[in-house]
Amino acid sequence: MSQVGKLVSLASFLATHPRITVEEAARATHRTARELIADMKTLLMVGVHPYSPSDFIGYAPMTAGMNSAITIHFADHFKRPLNFTPQEALALKYALGHFALAADAPTRRQVDALSGALAEMLHGRAAQELSSLGRGFVVSRPTERMRGLLSQLALAGEQRKIVEIEYYSAHRGEMSTRRVHPYRVVESGTHFYLFAFCELAAATRHFRVDRIRKATVTQSAFVSNPPKVPKSGRMTSTLSGKTVEYLTVMFTKEVASDVQDEWQGVPEAAISTARGGRVVLRLPLYNDPWAVGFAMGFGGHAEIVKPLRVREMLKRTQENALRAHGG
Amino acid sequence: MSGGVSRTERQLNLVSALLKARDGLAWPQIEVIAGYNDGLTKRSLQKRFERDLKELQGIGLLVTSELIGEGTRRYAIDRGRCLLPPLNLTPQQRILLFRVGISYLEEGGAGPLTDHLARALLKLQAGSGINALPDELPPAIVRRSLYRRPAEARHLDAIGLALLERRRICFGYEGHRREQSRRQVAPYALVARRGGWYLIAYDPERKAERTFKLSRIRGQVEFARGSKAGEFDVPDGFDSERSFSSEAFGAGMGTCKNVRVRFDADVAFIVENEFGGTYQIEPAPNGAVVLNLPQAYPSELLRYLGEFAGHWEILAPADLREQFIHRLRASLRSAP
């Protein structure tokens, strides 16, 4: 990817934001202060003939602290940024489209208005790409109730308001009411999670947003800040995508070929054969309730071997399900 | 490196000189730019210059040239096509763009969009004029992500980038019957279904669109040999979801029809969250609800129900209910 394009855009930004602080510029340009300073140092080398000191891009102060204001010299000719490339137009369009899918109705209207305004202001291929109907990354749209809930929680987080939630825990299989300090709303895999300090647990937790029955924003403000290194506990694998633990499942010979068709050759999955035509599948475990659902999907043809707690969870789920069916 | 000047620095110098020169640059002004003044032959330096211009096209810098004398050309930026017009964005629109940036760029959730999106947002901020940022930037609360399954992430990155750049790709693919093939396709769209991503692409060998499950791609996804940005267009009227069923639990042969599942009050709202407005959900006594599905594969449905402990009951069809109870009993009997 072009380093030049990135640096020219940064030069345009800095030229149009005189006296912006290092901290603000880093936030606004979505990079760390260290990355910003490194990029600015590269820009320092840029100049034109005859290369007198005033012909080079420069900024002050050279050893900027986070709150120092950046003054950039000899960059006025960068003030008008380059037009969008078709790729930049598409990236913006796809990001806006994806963003709008999980947004509430007023935000969606804002996104539509912004897309329309940009398509009118830009020109050439970029404008065509922005106004075309094609979608590049197609995901399901959350229900209106979910979109409202996501916006409500995000706003409470911005306003630092404590929220009371009624939450269904899939691990415990029961509802509880908790007061939480909402820090982040995080999309991971196919779900959204609320990362918050839970007063009941006296620790941070990730709550799946579709399992929040009701959220009431209180008038009480919270002052605590999210931990610098958030602890995800049993959600670590789900949120980071890193394998912490493996799931081992044994399948009967009746479904062995289906399992082999689905999982043979899949990265990170290992299949071995066992006695009586059975097969054993080992794959990363990202989420206990998912593992239970996965095994249940095979009816009685799948048995969780490891970890034992998930095996027990499956057994409890099956017993409860049988009870619910009068069995 | 040329004479101690890196390619990035040389190209930045060239961009700077072209932007500054209102009347364009002739060769005598170009050959003094740091990076072109390292004493090589004029022919070598001009070749370097032509290569640089070609690369700079990739960031939106279009340079035109005109003959101004015998064998002498003047190079200038086509300002009308190259530079953003002044943008008149409202403060709310600027904040919205900032929110999109923090949602996708700060923890890498934009995946293949990252570099192009970052540049687009910076250009919009710069193009909105002096001090376009609001006095106070909102805190970063929402984190969005395009990723679904971790194992698919590198394929999503490679295909997503090719999709943005409209470049052909090639990869190894394992079909349903485990047959292996090498495919070269033009990617049209990525569609997320049932927890994973699918690629819809035009396959020139088969002269038709084809759907590929990312988890069945083997090895690396690479740009096809000789591919270049903008080498194809997605046809007007292309429908990325044409080959996908809208049914959550599958459609077609082998599905159970007219499935009814009752969920008790503790989890009824989760069903509303997921399927409200998509399927018919009837209220039932004691805060429960009944979900009505036109069709569903039993395995897909059970996979979903398994996450709800014992808070649900299959009401219909009767044979699915009986089959399910039978399977549960068998499973519990065999468990030690």
Residue A198 has pLDDT above 90, yes or no: yes
In this structure, the answer to whether residues B155 and B218 fall within a common structural domain is yes
Peptide bond into A61 cis (omega under 30): yes
Give the pLDDT band (50/70/90) at residue A176: very high
**pTM, whole model, 2 decimals?**
0.86
Kindly report, residue by residue over B46-66, the tens digit of the pLDDT: 999 999 999 998 888 889 999
Look at residue B131 and tell me if it is in a domain: no
In a domain, A311, yes or no: yes
Shortest distance, CA A23 to any CA of chain B (angstroms): 11
The last residue of a domain, from among A232, A258, A281: A232
Residue B321 structural domain: 256-334
Per-chain mean pLDDT for chain A: 88
Does residue A168 surpass a pLDDT of 70?
yes
pLDDT of residue A63: 61
- The answer to whether the CB atoms of B123 and A9 lie below 8 A apart is yes
pLDDT at residue number A124: 80
Domain presence at residue A241: no
In this structure, the answer to whether residues B217 and B264 fall within a common structural domain is no
For residues B262 and B329, membership in a common domain is answered with: yes
| Angle B121-B122-B125 from CA coordinates, rounded to 5° | 85
Q: Does B250 reside within a domain?
A: no
- pLDDT, position A212: 96
Closest CA to A86 of A160, A34, A136: A136
In a domain, B236, yes or no: no
Same-domain status, A227 and A157: yes
CB contact under 8 A, A86 and B166: yes
d(CA A179, CA A166): 9
Please give the pLDDT value at position B169.
98
Tell me, what CATH number does A203's domain have? 2.30.30.100
Is the per-residue pLDDT at A235 higher than 80?
no
Q: Mean pLDDT: which of A151-160, A294-303, B137-146, B240-249 is highest?
A: A151-160
CB contact under 8 A, A8 and B12: yes
Assigned domain for B201 exists:
yes
A276: DSSP letter = G
Assembly ipTM:
0.88
Query: Which pLDDT score, from 0 to 100, does residue B131 have?
Result: 67
Q: Do B8 and A8 touch (CB under 8 A)?
A: no
Kindly indicate the confidence band of residue B80, based on its pLDDT and cuts at 50, 70 and 90: confident
Q: Are residues B201 and B264 in the same domain?
A: no
In a domain, B27, yes or no: yes
Q: Are residues B211 and B280 in the same domain?
A: no
Do the domain assignments include residue B324?
yes
- DSSP class per residue in B226-295: T--TT---PPTT--TTTTS---TT--STTPEEEEEEEE-HHHHHHHHHHHBTTBEEEE-GGG-EEEEEEE
Span B85-107, average pLDDT: 89
A277 and A313 fall within a common domain: yes
Residue B163 lies in a domain: yes
Domain boundary among B181, B208, B223: B223
In this structure, are A223 and A260 located in the same domain?
no
Same domain, A156 and A220: yes
My answer on whether A21 and A70 are in the same domain is yes
What's the whole-number mean pLDDT along residues A12-32? 89
Position of tokens 């009967």?
A252
Range of the domain at A257: 246-324
For residue A256, the SS3 value is helix
Question: Does a structural domain hold residue A139?
Answer: no
* Interface-testing mutation among A46, A79, A96, with chain B (most B C-beta atoms within 10 A): A46
Percentage of chain B beyond pLDDT 90 is 54
A-proximal residues of B, 187-246, CB under 8 Å:
188-193, 195, 215-216, 218, 229-230, 234, 238, 240-241
Residue A282 domain-assigned? yes
Q: Any idea what the Cα angle at residue B212 is, between residues B177 and A289, rounded to 5°? A: 85
Contact assignment for A87 to B133 by CB distance below 8 Å: no
The yes-or-no verdict on residue A1 having pLDDT over 60 is no
| Most confident of the following: A37-41, A120-124, B78-82, B169-173 | B169-173
Clarify whether residues B11 and B69 are in a common domain. yes
* A238 in any annotated domain: no
Residue in B closest to A2 by C-alpha: B59
Flag whether A136 is in a domain: no
B262 and B328 belong to one structural domain? yes
The total domain count for chain A is 4
- Indicate whether A96 belongs to any domain: yes
Same domain, B218 and B280: no
Rounded CA separation A246/B70 (Å): 73
CATH number, domain of B317, equals: 3.30.70
d(CA B40, nearest CA chain A) in Å: 18
Choose one of B170, B202, B223: the last residue of a domain: B223
CATH number at residue A254: 3.30.70
CATH number of the domain that B17 lies in?
1.10.10
Q: Which of A232, A267, A287 is the last residue of a domain?
A: A232
Q: Is residue B275 part of a domain?
A: yes
